[in-house]
Each structure stands twice: as C-alpha cells, then as structure tokens.
Amino acid sequence: MDIKETLLIVDDEQNTLEGLKEIMTQEGYHVLTALSAEEGLKLLNNDGIDLVITDLMLPGMDGMEFARTVLRDYIGIQVIIITAFGTVKSAVESMKEGIYNYITKPVHIDELLVIAKKALDESRLRKDYIDLKSKVEAKYKFINIIGASGAMIKVFEKVLKVAKTNSTVILRGESGTGKELIARAIHEKSARADKPFMTIDCTSFPETLLESELFGYEKGAFTGAYKTKIGCFEAAEGGTIFLDEIGNISPDVQVRLLRVLQERIISRLGSTKPQKVDVRVIAATNTNLENAIKKGTFRKDLYYRLNVIPIILPQLKQRRSDISMLIDHFIKKYAAENDKNVKSCTPEVEKLFIYHDWPGNVRELENAIENAVVMCDESVIVVDDLPKYLVTKYEKSKFAGLQEDELDLSAQLELAEKRIIKSTLEKVDYNKTKAAELLSINLRTLHNKARKYNL
C-alpha cells in the first residue's frame, strides 16, 4: 500500500502507543510516536505531520495544552483527543477551541479510523484549496478579489479579456457580490490604469443632484450655482467611471447617459456647448433591467448600449468552495485592523459558514467575520463569537451537535464526502470525467454520488 499522510500519536502508555502505531501503520499511514507532549512538540518541528492524535491525560504538559499549542503554532494540522469517559465533557468543550474530534477509551478502532480519515480528508481539501488559491493569485493577480471556484475563474478570464478593450461593461449580480471590486479590476488591468477611476452610486443622489454630479454645471445654471462645477465624466477623462445601481436612474439622466455612450459627448447643466469625453463606462445593477424595460422605466436603447459586455457575478452560495479562502482573508484583514491575535476558526464555525446560504453574499460573510474577530478573546474563533442569528442557525443544524450521544459518524462522513466531491467538481468546472479521475473513483460512482448529494 502506498504511504499516506503522516500521523503523530502521543500517549504516555507504551503499550497503547505501540498498539495504535501498529494499527495505523497497517492502514498505510506513516506514524510517529511520543510519550509526552514535550517530545511531541520536538517531532512537530519537522515538516510533514498531517494529524495529531493525543491522550488528554499526559505527564507535564497535558493533552489539552499540547493541543492548543499545536493549533496555535502549526496551522493546518488537525488534532484528535483520546479521553477517558469521565473527561468527555472536557473533550467536548475542547472542540469549541478547534480540536477536530475526540475518542473515548477504550478506543474502538473502527471509530478511530473513520474520524482520522475524515480529519485527513478535510486537511487534504484545505491544502488543495491553498494550492489552488496561490495558483489563481499568481495567474490573475486581482487585489482583494478572493476565489478559485469554477464560477470565479470564468469571471476572472472575462475581466482580463474585456480589460484590453474600451467596450462598455455591465456587471449583473446581487448586492454584496463584489461588483465594485470587479469594476476596479477591469480598470487596473486596462491601459487606463494610470487615469482616474470614479465611482458613482446612483441611488445616493436625488435626480437633479445626480445629473449635476455626473455632468457638472455652469455658474448660474440654477439657484445656488455660485460657480462652475465639473462633473464626474470630465473628472474621469481618460479613465473609467463606474455607475453602480444604474437601474435606478431617472428618464432624464438616461437620455443624457445615452448621448454619452453614443457620441462620447457631454454638456454641463446650463451650457449649450458640447464637450468630447474619453471615458470608459462600467455599469452595475442588481435589478432586472429586462423587466424594467417592459414596465417602461428603463430605455431599451440605453440597455443595449450598456449591455455590450455583460459579466454575471455568482452568489456566494453558488461558489461555496471559495468560502474557506474568504474566511482566511477576512480574519487576517480584521485581526490586523483591530490589533487582535485571531488566526483561524474552529471546524464547526467553518462548516457553518460553508453551509449558510448568505443572502447578503460576500458582504454579509465579511461583516460576520469582522464581528467574530472583534468578539473573539482567543486565537481561534468559536461559535459563541458569531452574530446571534448565526449561532441560532448553528444550534438548529443537523451537524452541529457535540454531545457524545448525538455523534453521528455516518452523517459526518457523508458531509465530508459531499464537500470533497463538490469542491472537486467546481475545480474542474463540473467535468465529471476529470473529477472522477482526481477522486480515483469510476464515473458511474461519481454520477450516483452527485445525484445523491444533489450536486
């Protein structure tokens, strides 16, 4: 059998240590052993350990303190605790601090093998996404845009293509999906990158103010116009203007914007002198413009002028494999901003984040993590650090139970399998033949499992 991952088993009972080593070696794992936490920490200084299995009761540094040290200093290594029945409560509490799982004595080998495999599967999945993230960042180099899912790769590739042109772009997607970030990416990858990038939220201005904000006005054009003011189109000369929530502009502004797109000409309010402008327009909306045309609230000719290059941004629930990356990114961001030593979150928190539907998309996830970082008193975010509505969801979750009599290994294994298959499918853009090869299963099996998990 090929060598699999490397395990470190720590127990002060020599017979137990040797027995566990023999069993796990027979399963194909490379096994290191230590009789104390201190000895285990020395072994951890060597790269390559994927999973730590430790007894809770150890001489010197106990298993709990050892586990905390591992989680703090060796990011990515999972920890399983072996505990006597009388200390199960302590072990359960430890899971809130990031311990992957616990096993009671006497150790049931089948249970140990299932939990160890699941822990290693999740570690492998995490390493895969870190590797994929680095490759995506190296290829696309978009600042503050996080994602390596098939859906986001398509967006990145389209951004790189349209950035080389002067074509008008419209970004479609729900609120919170990152439309302004994509607009900035297009600008920064274009030949206009050294010119201005102007952002206008069309919902932030009343009709008359939006018109003067975009096109400017002459002195005396209206009451209160004490001096001439240039508009955003003039200010953005040579660069890009991003019109957010374009579906909310008034009919008069639509007419003026249509002229800009057709003739590249503007005129300030109160002026009859037209001016040529060289500005790229990127618009964005979360409304259905087609329905607005049918209702007569949005001009069809303007729609076609804007809809030259449409880019549709996926909802966060449509790219769940990106959520782990986003978690890491936002934890680092808000830990630095708030001078906190928060480095990660527990598996329970990550699981909750991955399976929440996020109606507010990335913005909602970012707000939740900022809240959690501020509330967190340790280096690892736990469920109790989350906003109340997410804690309530966690408590009702099928997979949230931590009590020993609620531990459903079969359900947990199914959950891990679903995550691995889904992530692999997204990685290869749902090419099931490629996915089956990566997962080392036959195509028929993959089809059956995809149907089972509604993937």
Can you read off the two tokens belonging to residue 16? 């137990």
Q: What is the CA radius of gyration of the chain?
A: 28
CA pair distance 60, 12, nearest whole angstrom: 11
Rounded-to-integer distance, Cα 156 and Cα 153, Å = 5
pTM of the predicted model as reported, rounded to 2 decimal places: 0.63
Q: What are phi and psi of 32, to 5 degrees?
A: -110, 150
Domains and CATH numbers, the chain: 6-129 (3.40.50.2300), 150-312 (3.40.50.300)
34 in Cβ contact with 66 (< 8 Å):
no
Both tokens of residue 253? Answer: 């502004």
pLDDT in tens, the chain (455 residues): 455 789 999 999 999 899 999 999 998 899 999 999 999 999 987 768 889 999 988 999 988 889 888 887 887 788 998 887 555 555 555 555 678 888 888 888 888 898 898 888 877 776 665 665 666 656 666 767 888 788 888 899 899 899 999 999 999 999 999 999 999 999 999 999 999 999 999 988 887 789 888 998 888 777 777 888 888 999 999 999 999 999 999 999 999 999 999 999 988 888 888 899 999 999 999 999 999 999 999 999 999 999 999 999 999 999 988 888 899 899 999 999 999 999 888 877 888 898 888 999 999 999 999 999 999 998 889 888 999 988 887 666 544 444 333 334 555 566 667 778 877 887 788 888 888 888 877 777 787 777 766 67
Residue with tokens 């070696």: 25
